[in-house]
């Protein structure tokens, strides 16, 4: 099956610093990737849709200047949390849509646990 990787799997940073998370589709080209945030015992909240070669589309209420998304190639999207604060601590998950599958199936990365001190 399709494989999506995320790096790092876990990161701890100080308040005010920036953190970059990478999402890669390993065995298919993904023109579209998605970034989600998940709170404990909660479902996934879509943050933004990342399209290769164009600006990301952010969901209502998500600060685009705080959560910078870059989709520079067909296999890589990055999420940068700028000037992170403790309230940004969360589990961030990316997914990549495989256009070669029925229903444009999304395959998910393993997630990144961000802790801001």
Partner 1 sequence: AQSVTQLGSHVSVSEGALVLLRCNYSSSVPPYLFWYVQYPNQGLQLLLKYTTGATLVKGINGFEAEFKKSETSFHLTKPSAHMSDAAEYFCAVSVVGGKLIFGQGTELSVKP
Minimal distance, residue 107 CB to partner 1, in Å: 7
For partner 1, the closer CB: 34 or 116: 34
Minimal distance, residue 102 CB to partner 1, in Å: 4
- Contact residues for partner 1, defined by CB under 8 A: 1, 4, 6, 32, 34, 42-44, 46, 49, 91, 93, 95, 97, 102-111, 113
Say if residues 65 and 55 touch (Cβ distance below 8 Å). no
For partner 1, the closer CB: 7 or 82: 7
Partnered with residue 11 across adjacent β-strands are 114
The bridge status of strand 106-108 relative to strand 112-116 is unpaired
CA 82 vs. chain centroid, Å, equals 14
Minimal distance, residue 31 CB to partner 1, in Å: 10
- Residue 28: partners with Cβ closer than 8 Å, 6 or more residues away: 2, 96, 98, 100
């Amino acid at each position: 099956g399709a494989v999506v990787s995320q790096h790092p799997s876990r990161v701890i940073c100080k308040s005010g610093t920036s953190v970059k998370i990478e999402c890669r589709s390993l065995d298919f080209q993904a023109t579209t990737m998605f970034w989600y945030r998940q709170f404990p015992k909660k479902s996934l909240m879509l943050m933004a849709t990342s399209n290769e070669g164009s600006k990301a589309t952010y969901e209502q209420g998500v600060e685009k200047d705080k959560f910078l998304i870059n989709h520079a190639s067909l296999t890589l999207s990055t999420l940068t949390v700028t000037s992170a604060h403790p309230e940004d601590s969360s589990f961030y998950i990316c997914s990549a849509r495989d256009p070669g599958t029925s229903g444009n199936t999304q395959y998910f990365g393993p997630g990144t646990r961000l802790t801001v001190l």
